[in-house]
Amino acid sequence: MESRFFNWKLQLVQQLGSLIMLLVSTYLDCDSLYVLFMNFYF
């Protein structure tokens, strides 16, 4: 049971990570110049 809970938690973390990466990639596609500007000066 402990291993099943661990696997479920790991899967949830992977899903959250993929969702965050999707949002970040979409944001970069929309505002890549703005993000590059902010990263360059900060």
**pLDDT score for 12:** 92
What pTM does this model have?
Answer: 0.50
The terminus-to-terminus CA distance of the chain in angstroms comes to 47
Q: Closest Cα partner for 24 from 39, 9, 5, 7?
A: 39
Task: Say how many residues make up the chain.
Answer: 42
DSSP 2: H
- Summarised one tens digit per residue, pLDDT across range 1-42 is 678 888 999 999 999 988 888 888 777 776 676 777 777 765
Calpha distance 15→22 (Å, rounded): 11
Calpha distance 39→27 (Å, rounded): 14
